[in-house]
Amino acid sequence: MPSWVYPGLAPGVRKPGLHLSAHRAFQTYAHITWHTWRRVGCIDARAAREVRIAVASAANRTGVQVVKGEVLANHIHLLVSFRPDTRISDFMRLAKSVSATRANRFVVGAVRWARGYYVATIHKSDLPRVIRYIAQQFQRHPDLIPRPSRFSDPGRKPGVNEQGIWGDLANPSHQPLNRPR
């Protein structure tokens, strides 16, 4: 009987969650968290979106599968599945650097990560509990839900494009003089 056939499953159907490679099978899971510098709640809705995109990109490049994830204002929780020969450090380096770069395109220096991260391997029997724990992060920390973005246009900088900040410029007497050519 071939190794990819399981009793009770149709031929060619794999056991859910089991990854097969040449003569080996694995189910390796980890719960990963990391936080912002000094736990500053600097991640808003736009930055959270950029973090999710960056994490997906890093996962794709390193062969990690994100099972569940939540982005809060000052920390991130991920449940990932990965091959035994995958280095989580490569995934984390990409996830943190690319997410900070993407999020800081809008407001320079807005998102800054603390050094390091936490990783705990998870047994498959604990997966439902960890998935539930990550899914309940907004209920556990309602004060850390990423707030709506203050700046709706890409490229806006705080104070530059907002009405009321540069009130003097709205006064016609402060407009540049029209010089004859």
Is the pLDDT at 177 greater than 60, yes or no?
no
pLDDT at 25: 81
Q: Where are the domains of the chain?
A: 25-168
Give this prediction's pTM. 0.71
pLDDT band at 8 (very low <50, low <70, confident <90, very high): low
* CA angle, 73 then 162 then 113, to 5°: 25
Q: What is the pLDDT of residues 14-53, one digit of tens each?
A: 666 666 656 778 899 999 999 999 999 999 999 999 999 9
Is the pLDDT at 169 greater than 70, yes or no?
no
State the residue for tokens 């003097």. 168
Q: What is the pLDDT of residues 53-76, one digit of tens each?
A: 999 999 999 999 999 999 999 999
State the residue for tokens 């809008």. 106
Backbone angles phi and psi of 29, in degrees to 5: -130, 150
pLDDT at 172: 41
**Of residues 29 and 171, more confidently modeled:** 29
Residue 86, sorted as left (phi over 0), alpha (psi -120 to 50) or beta, turns out to be beta
The CATH number of 25-168, from 3.40.640.10, 3.40.50.620, 3.30.1340.30, 3.30.70.1290, is 3.30.70.1290
Chain Cα centroid distance, residue 105: 15
**Of residues 126 and 5, more confidently modeled:** 126
